[in-house]
Each structure stands twice: as C-alpha cells, then as structure tokens.
Amino acid sequence: MDLSQATLEQLLARGERALHAASTRTIRISFKDTQSPYWALTLDDRVLLHERMRAAETAGAVRLEWSKLGGDERPLDGVVLVSLRHLAAHLGRPTVADQVDTAERVLAPWAASELPIPTLLATWRSLRTVRGMGPDAAPDFADAARLVCHLRGQPAEDRVLRQVSVELFAHSKRIEALQRHVDVLTAEDVQAPARHAEEVFARIGLRKEPQPFLVSGHGKILLPGEACRIVRPYVGVSPSAVIGYAGAPAWILTIENLTTFHVAAMALGARTDGLILYTGGMPSPAWCRAYARIRAALPPRATAYHWGDIDEGGFRIALVIQQADPATAGLHPWLMDPIACGGRRVEVSPAACAAMSRNALRLGWNAVANGIRDAGTRAGCEQESIPVRLPGLGPAG
C-alpha cells in the first residue's frame, strides 16, 4: 500500500474511532517530522502523492495543509479529515456505521428472537469484530438465525445436517459453512471461545448421520406401543421414540465418549443396579428429552452421574444434561476430578481452566472445581485415558 492510500486509510480508521467516542478533536496526519515516510519518497512519488491528496480534497474528504515555503514545489505539511462519509465514498467503501445500519436491516427479522442479534450489532457499532467477522457477515448470520429459529420451531428430534441444508438453502453444504455463525448465535456469549462443529450442531439437533440412543443395563425402554428390553451389552433406539423406562436401578451414568461407553457396558455385565447412557458427545435436544423421560421414571433414590472428558466441552455437556432435567435431585460427577481420576493429564490454557472451574461450580461440583484449581494448566484429561470404574464399586473422583 502506497503512502497516499495508507494515509487516507488511517484517517478513515481514526475518524471511525472518533465518531464512536463522540470526540470533536481534529484528526490530522502530519508530514512535518523529518522521520516521516513522506520525506523518504522520491520527487516523482511525492508529486503523485500530492495529486492523490488533491483529488481527496476535491471530493470534500480532507483539507491539505501546505508549507509556507517552497513556491510551487512546496511540501505538504499535513492532511486533515473533513468528512468521514466523503472520505469513505472516495475510498469506495461504506462507513462502519453504514455497514451496521445495513446489517441491522438484514437481521431485522430475528431482532426480537432470543438470539443475541442486538449484542452482535452493538459489538460492530463499537468497531469490534466477532470471531474476526464484521458487519459484512450479516447475510451469513441471517442464514444462521434462520436455521436456528427453524429448528427450534420443530419437534425435538435429531435431523440429518445435509438434508436440512438442502431443505432450507437448496445447498447440501451451506449449513457447514455457517458453523462459526451458528456457534456465535447459540453460545453463552458472542465472544465465547469457539466450539467444535459437532458440539455446535448437536445442540440445535443436527447430526451428520442419525445417532441411536444407546443404553446398557437392566429393564426396558418404553417406546410407543411397545417395550424394548435392554439386552447385553446394550441396546440402541431412536431418541425421539423414547417415552419412558421400566426398571429400578440404584444409579444412572451418562458417558460422553463411545469407546468408554462400550468398555463400561462390558464392565457392567450382569449387574442390575445401574443404567449407562451414551450421550453421543454433546447431547441433542432429542437426546435430552429422552434422558428426562428416563430420569422421571427412576426411583427417587436413584443417583445420576456424568462422566466425560475433563475439558471445556466435557463440562458444557454436563451442564446441558443437568439442565435437561432440572426437577430431579441433580447430577453428580463421576471420575471428573483431574487429580483423583487416575487418567493421563494434559495441558489446557488458563482460560480453559477458568471456564472448566466456573462450570463445575455452576454444576454444584465444588470438590471438582477445587481439583481443577489445584491441577492448574495440567487440569485436562481425556476420558479414554481413565481406567473404567462404575458406581457401587468404590470411590471415584
């Protein structure tokens, strides 16, 4: 970028910041300092810069300040911003305010929804981006909002991602291109750290392929018009078909990862005191509804546990499970303390450690939060590295 372009771009950026701060200070770029790159220009390049600056002045964007000495060849002392809007037009672009106004019109159909559209617009007006995306991303956010609101208005059942993409956008991969936008609109905060694509889409009921509701234990899963006996080592049904459960286990354990679920199901063997459910990673709304119906059918004394990865996603999953059935006695951690679990600990960032601890406290898992704090940046642990133990067979951290 040459000096003339860089100067005008800098004036525009400073003008945008001044407008946001309601500042009335004159915005000027001076060339008087002998260290200015202006004085490193060749004579021909300086003449060209003067021509471009005069064109910006003619457009009503800037005012030029010339040296009193030097005659016709006098140097340019500085450039003063006169009109932000005229400068933006001269550079061939809208102002941020104009961009946000356009974005607001694009996103207007979802302004009154539960989605954080006002926060998104306010962030852009403050000259900040969201995950590197500015107001020019409004059409993509509009498609993401359309998707989320469409699915929230549907029955709680898992949908195949690319099939929905074709239905809504006539393009099988459009939804996958909207992952970041959907993530922002469904996160706790628009500036929250990015989540994995599978977690983002699962939370709104989208899967790349249908996921069965896997159950290991004793008893029967109640389905419309029939009861499905839980065979060894486990049985799988559609989550949207689950209407209840018949049995009297002492505990129920949800497990995040498929490998660990398989090992735990084999370890359960012929025992009849427990029920183990595979969450499929981040539970979908259909899974949560099935889980709540099973919980409602359990004896009041039955204890609910969750066992997942000891990372940010693992604790978010636990929160979703707890929120799926808030009327019950709560959810307890199983092998979720990074120090006591016996697994291989891995590094996590300080921000991730803080988020894990914060969510553990939200879950009421104070001892786990203390374990995360004591482990520090070594607080992470993959579930697959933890030796499998089941409730009723000794203590677990």
Question: Given a cut of 60, is residue 387 above it in pLDDT?
Answer: yes
Residue 394's pLDDT is 46
Q: Are residues 302 and 367 in the same domain?
A: yes
Helix, strand, coil share of the chain (percent; to 5): 45, 15, 40
Average pLDDT rounded to a whole number, residues 37-46: 91
Q: Are residues 100 and 74 in the same domain?
A: no
Average pLDDT, the chain: 92
pLDDT-derived band at 70, boundaries 50, 70, 90: low
279 inside domain: yes
For β-strands 303-307 and 251-255, DSSP reports them as parallel
Residue 21's pLDDT is 81
Q: Are residues 250 and 365 in the same domain?
A: yes
66 inside domain: yes
> Burial letters for 275-287: b for 16+ Cβ neighbours within 10 Å, e otherwise?
bbbbbbbbbbbbb
Token look-up 């990015």 returns: 194
CATH, residue 292: 3.40.1360.10
Q: Are residues 75 and 126 in the same domain?
A: no
| DSSP code of residue 283 | P
Q: Are residues 60 and 119 in the same domain?
A: no
Average pLDDT rounded to a whole number, residues 251-263: 96
Q: Are residues 312 and 359 in the same domain?
A: yes
Among residues 90, 115, 144, the one where a domain terminates is 90
Question: Given a cut of 90, is residue 327 above it in pLDDT?
Answer: no
Among residues 90, 114, 135, the one where a domain terminates is 90
Q: Are residues 163 and 45 in the same domain?
A: no
Question: Given a cut of 60, is residue 396 above it in pLDDT?
Answer: no
Which tens digits make up the pLDDT trace of 170-191? 999 999 999 999 999 999 889 8
Among residues 207, 229, 254, the one where a domain terminates is 207
Question: Given a cut of 70, is residue 44 above it in pLDDT?
Answer: yes
Average pLDDT rounded to a whole number, residues 303-309: 95
Range of the domain at 281: 213-385
Structure tokens at 163: 């099939």
Question: Given a cut of 60, is residue 288 above it in pLDDT?
Answer: yes
Rounded distance between C-alpha atoms, residue 289 and residue 285, angstroms: 6
DSSP track, 132-166? TB-GGGHHHHHHHHHHHHHHHTS-S--EEHHHHHH
Q: Are residues 220 and 346 in the same domain?
A: yes
201 inside domain: yes
390 inside domain: no
Average pLDDT rounded to a whole number, residues 294-304: 93
Residue % of the chain over a pLDDT of 70: 97
Q: Are residues 201 and 55 in the same domain?
A: no
Q: Are residues 174 and 145 in the same domain?
A: yes
Out of 38-47, 62-71, 145-154, 264-273, which region has the weakest mean confidence (pLDDT)?
A: 62-71
pTM over 0.85: no
pLDDT-derived band at 72, boundaries 50, 70, 90: low
Structural domains counted in the chain: 3
251 inside domain: yes
pLDDT-derived band at 210, boundaries 50, 70, 90: confident
More confident of the two residues 392 and 304: 304
294 inside domain: yes
Question: Given a cut of 90, is residue 262 above it in pLDDT?
Answer: yes
pLDDT-derived band at 397, boundaries 50, 70, 90: very low
Q: Which run of H or E residues covers position 220?
A: strand 220-223
350 inside domain: yes
Report helix angle 117-125 to 138-152, nearest 10.
170
Token look-up 């509701």 returns: 213
Q: What are phi and psi of 257, to 5 degrees?
A: -105, 145
Is the Cβ–Cβ distance between 304 and 332 less than 8 Å? yes
Q: Are residues 249 and 353 in the same domain?
A: yes
Q: Is the dihedral of CA 87, 90, 93, 94 positive or negative?
A: positive
Distances in Å between the Cα of 201 and the Cα atoms of 35, 133, 144, 165, 285 are 54, 20, 11, 12, 11
Among residues 312, 316, 388, 320, the alpha carbon closest in space to that of 352 is found at 312
47 inside domain: yes
Q: Are residues 327 and 231 in the same domain?
A: yes
